[in-house]
Structures are given as structure tokens and as C-alpha cells.
Homo-oligomer: A and B are copies of this chain.
């Protein structure tokens, strides 16, 4: 009872978050660091320090580092899927829906650059293919919503070039190209975001879809 000053057996073992509380705490801390410093910057030790816990403790709740970051990315992709689901059923012209979906996609990427990169850029080298399967699947479901709308356009005979498949893939990848380069080359002398996005969508839709 006398000297409580010492850090006896490492004093605080932080017994706070019992059970499943801790898992959320870790995810939150990891997200903060991951969003701020990317995949390389979000180390196990940094995350553990942020939570106030030993690095080993993270392995109580997650299989490995990638599982943590993928769960964060899953959250992000789920938000994108929700947006896409909402847009895909709006009672408006299919071409307008395609445009809205692509624009929302680009906005999403620019607002969640690290999660976006983890899912759509890294993939090779950073993480094994199997691990990302679940997340990839979410991405595929997003893309499927998009294909469906492009299919509507094709069904009305307005697709000028290519099959539904290739047209959808080209529309998607060109949007990916714009946002991924804006993200990875922030020092490049880009034209204004809005102008780029509009030029891209105007060009692609005018080029692929006849009115």
C-alpha cells in the first residue's frame, strides 16, 4: 500500500477493453494510422502503441496485419457498394446512372485513397492473392452493379463500341486510371479535378454511347 509509484509488474496491463471492445479499438487506431500513413506506415507496433497495448495483443484479435487492414478496406468498399446500390436503381436514364456511378466511384477513391490503393492498386507483392479474396469479392459485387446498368444501355441498342463486358471494363478502368494517378502522383501538375472528371466522363460516354 505504501509506494504505489513503481511500475511493478509493468503496472498498467490495460485491462480496460474486455472481450470484443478491444477489437474495435484496434481497428480504429489502425484506421487512423493507415489513412494517415498508408500500408507501410501502419506497422503492428505503431498500432499497438496507439491502443496502449503490446504488439502481441493484436494477434489475439486478428490473424495477422493484413487481416486488420483488409477489414478496414472492407468497410470502405462496403460504403462504395451501398452508394452503387442506391444509384443503380434510381428511376433515371441509364446513361445518367452510369455517369453518377462513375463520378461517385472517383469521389470515393479520392476521399479514401489508402483503402482504395490497397484494394485496387497494391495487390501484387504486398498481399497474397488468397487473403484479399473476400475484399475482391466485395469489389466485384460493386462492379456487377455497374455492369448491369451498362447492360441496360446495350439492351436499348445505344452501345456504340465493343461488348457490354469490354465497354464496362473500359469505363471502369479509365476512371481508375485518373484517380489512381492523382493519388499516387500528387506532385504532378494536374488540371483541376472537376475538369478532369468531366472531360473523362463526357469523352467516354460520348464515345461509347450514342444518343
Contacts and interface: CB of A to CB of B under 8 A. Distances in A.
Interface stretch (A20-28, A49-57, A78-86, A171-179): A171-179
Contacts of A165: 191
A96 interface: no
B120 A187 contact: no
A184 B139 CA distance: 14
**Chain A interface, DSSP helix/strand/loop, else mixed:** helix
A62 to B, nearest CB: 21
A185 B40 contact: no
A121 interface: yes
B170 A203 contact: yes
Contacts of A203: 160-162, 167, 170, 203-204, 207-208
A89 interface: no
Contact of A124 (B167, B174, B184, B196): B184
Contacts of A207: 202-208
A39 interface: yes
A169 B198 contact: no
Nearest to A37: B125
